[in-house]
Chains A and B, each alone.
Chain A
Amino acid sequence: GAVVSQHPSWVICKSGTSVKIECRSLDFQATTMFWYRQFPKQSLMLMATSNEGSKATYEQGVEKDKFLINHASLTLSTLTVTSAHPEDSSFYICSARKGASLESLHFGNGTRLTVT
């Protein structure tokens, strides 16, 4: 079964509003979670690394004031897309590592965001 749960699976919002996406590790504690964005027919692009109890590390070109990440507990990280615009419409996927090996990196089922 799934070990990383992402919610919601899809959301439609109006331009200018904010949307929060949750990523939970279900049966393990994750000090680090990763947030990716994927446009149709394109690669997964790492947006940021979420660290429990400290600030997230953002990749170059990702606006940290627009994509707010909070990792308040060992099982939950949230991504808030603030003042969303149509160009933010994308598939957002989180992942968390259950163990030390790469094989233990599990992905959530993603959130399809559509901004109208």
Chain B
Amino acid sequence: GQSLEQPSEVTAVEGAIVQINCTYQTSGFYGLSWYQQHDGGAPTFLSYNALDGLEETGRFSSFLSRSDSYGYLLLQELQMKDSASYFCAVLDYKLSFGAGTTVTVRA
């Protein structure tokens, strides 16, 4: 089976940087992805790492270390609209999600 661990919540101020860590245990592994979900809405794709290293997409970056079964999502220059839940998800034969990290951005 799969298990993923990520912090339950993080609070930061506008303009700050937040790092959300994700550790995983899985029998098969193709890659680690990240999704954003606003309250009551659909999850939206943020990034996907199949190989070790850092992927940068605008203010958001994602990192993967396969040997450590670890990844993180980095949110930079935080804005109020970034307040949402962020899920890491492992892809093997299916997409398995972590429990999510609620990010609250304060003025």
Which residues from 31 to 50 on chain B have a C-beta closer than 8 Å to any C-beta of chain A? 31, 33, 40-45, 48
Partner of A44, one of B41, B44, B87: B87
Report the count of interface residues on A (CB-CB < 8 A).
21
Q: Cβ of A107: which chain B residues have Cβ within 8 Å of it?
A: 42-44
Q: A102-B33, A102-B48, A103-B48 are in contact. Are A46 and B41 (CB under 8 A)?
A: no
Contact between B31 and A102 (Cβ–Cβ < 8 Å)? Answer: yes
Partner of A102, one of B45, B96, B98, B102: B45
Complex Cα spacing A68 to B72, Å: 37
Report the count of interface residues on B (CB-CB < 8 A).
19
Chain B residue with minimal CB distance to A102?
B48
Q: A43-B97, A43-B100, A44-B97 are in contact. Are A110 and B40 (CB under 8 A)?
A: yes
Contact between A102 and B42 (Cβ–Cβ < 8 Å)? Answer: no
Partner of B43, one of A41, A44, A46, A49: A44
Q: Mark B66-107, 1 if CB is under 8 A from A, else 0.
A: 000000000000000000000100010011111110100000
Whether A80 sits at the interface, judged by CB under 8 Å, is no
What are 7 sample pairs from A and B whose C-beta atoms fall under 8 A apart? A43-B100, A46-B96, A102-B31, A105-B95, A107-B44, A110-B41, A110-B42
